[in-house]
Amino acid sequence: MRSGAHFDVAVVGAGAAGMMAAAVAGQRGLRVVLIDHATRLAEKIRISGGGRCNFTNLGASPAQFVSRNPDFCRSALRGYGPADFLDLLRTHGVAWHEKHRGQLFCDDSSESIIEVLRRECAVGQVAWRMPCAVQSVAREADGFVLQTDGGAIRAAQLVLATGGTAIPQLGATDFSLRVARRFGLKIVEPRPALVPLTFDAAQWQPYAALSGVALEVRLSHESAPADGAAGRPARTGGKRRQVGRTEFLEDLLFTHRGLSGPGILQISSFWRPGDPLHIDLAPGQNLAEALLEAKSGSRQTLLTALSALWPRRLAEAWLATEFPAGAPHSSPGAAPAVPAGRMVAGDSAAHRAARASDSARAPQSVPTSPRLADLPDRQLRALAERIQGWTVWPTGTAGYKKAEVMSGGVDTDELDQRSLQAHRCPGLHVVGEAVDVTGWLGGYNFQWAWASGVACGRSLKAGSRP
């Protein structure tokens, strides 16, 4: 007689995906145990969306997910989409509203989402072990045995639902990845994603003064063909991957250490060390034409013209780089004092040389702005080009402490897309953020957690009763 409690399913991780998988399986009559090491339930749901949880996005489709196989999430999303989650909220009387571009938030608090999942688990008579740490996981002939703080737990099937490693201060761990690796599953290298981007401190110092300035920009990034990052899916060597140009029209925020805001968080999921980002600081405009038009018959200064477009602090800083104190405002035909609206950071010789020239023209003081009428057309056109094609080279990210999610995770090649079961380890399932499926900012990551949890919960089987 073997010791320990016996279940059909052990789910490790009582977050968004784990609770959903446990509730669905429990409601199908399976004996489910849900194990979590945290003292407080579902912290990431609680803090999400500024406490109101951006729990889904009406436009959720595979196009908003980054993965080595962008089609992998299709089946789960088709099986359980935003409308299904809204039905669940309706059943529990949770009120919500749409905020921005299909993003849905709770009217009250994200606690109501946690409560819905807790109640759904109760309906499914899910057994709880929390707080409870899992020391080891081993395979047995008819399932898995977990050694935990509360003794041995045996289950015919195991669901890994411990999410990603973002915000380790909330107890995030790489448990799912470690166990998956132990059972021979391949892992796509995890990275912080939906994360601010940082720059070399010395290089950024002049821009740190712009901390707090926010504006809408168009950000774009080109994925190198080899890195399998983003954009249009392609097939190479039999493996699906994504290459191409990715663009977001979103807000950008200057910070003390670099750039943040929704636009930067979005593009960070595609960015790789050494890559430049291209930023159009006047999106949707023909800035050259607008400046030339404003020039004719006007006594307007360039600072006034740019301040109509941007927060004044940014206009001043930009002009300080274009026209450093003491430099002549215009000399027809000459290159501007600050040639290439570019901020550079990187390790190549070219980057170092450019960095040196950049520090020489860092914003220093509020310039006496020249009048538009005093600037040659050519200079205005060149200025507009720099503003609409600002190229920056971040040196890093703010890391897991500031990231909203981890990208990468268990390779989708290892999993069945309908059940999330591992091909090479029957009975082992992986759901939620631990899988190499990362949503854009805007409710997509929770939608993946719900959809993958439901797909898994529907496919789990009753084990033989001990």
Chain residues 173-232 in contact with ligand FDA, contact rule CB under 6 A: 173, 175
Amino acid at 395: T
* Region near ligand FDA per CB under 6 A, out of 163-171, 209-217, 240-248, 385-393: 163-171
Is the Cβ–Cβ distance between 102 and 57 less than 8 Å? yes
Is 460 an interacting residue with respect to ligand FDA (CB under 6 A)? no
Is 288 an interacting residue with respect to ligand FDA (CB under 6 A)? no
**Nearest-angstrom CA–CA distance, 244 and 224:** 7
Q: How many residues bind ligand FDA (CB under 6 A)?
A: 38
Q: Which is nearer to ligand FDA, 113 or 217 (CB)?
A: 113
Question: Residue 336: which H helix or E strand, with range?
Answer: none
Is 37 an interacting residue with respect to ligand FDA (CB under 6 A)? yes
Q: Which residue is nearest to ligand FDA (CB)?
A: 15
| 23, 25, 33, 42: which one binds ligand FDA (CB under 6 A) | 42
**Nearest-angstrom CA–CA distance, 361 and 385:** 18
Is 64 an interacting residue with respect to ligand FDA (CB under 6 A)? no
| 69, 157, 162, 255: which one binds ligand FDA (CB under 6 A) | 162
Residue 143 has phi, psi (to 5 degrees) of 150, -140
* Region near ligand FDA per CB under 6 A, out of 156-164, 232-240, 254-262, 336-344: 156-164
Smallest CA-to-CA distance from 415 within 406, 425, 401, 407 is with 425
CA atoms within 13 A on the CB side of 441: 23
Q: Which is nearer to ligand FDA, 148 or 220 (CB)?
A: 148
Chain residues 70-89 in contact with ligand FDA, contact rule CB under 6 A: none
Q: What value, to the nearest 5°, has the Cα angle with vertex 220 and ends 216 and 224?
A: 160
Is 34 an interacting residue with respect to ligand FDA (CB under 6 A)? no
Cα–Cα distance list, 8 to 406, 415, 458, 459 (Å)? 29, 20, 13, 12
String of DSSP letters for 38-60: -SSTTHHHHHGGGGT-EEEETT-
**Nearest-angstrom CA–CA distance, 247 and 266:** 9
Q: How far is the CB of 16 from ligand FDA (least distance, A)?
A: 4
Q: How far is the CB of 228 from ligand FDA (least distance, A)?
A: 21
Q: Which is nearer to ligand FDA, 152 or 292 (CB)?
A: 152
Footprint of ligand FDA (CB under 6 A): 12-18, 35-38, 42, 44, 47-49, 53-54, 133-134, 161-163, 166-167, 171-173, 175, 404-405, 432-433, 443-446, 449
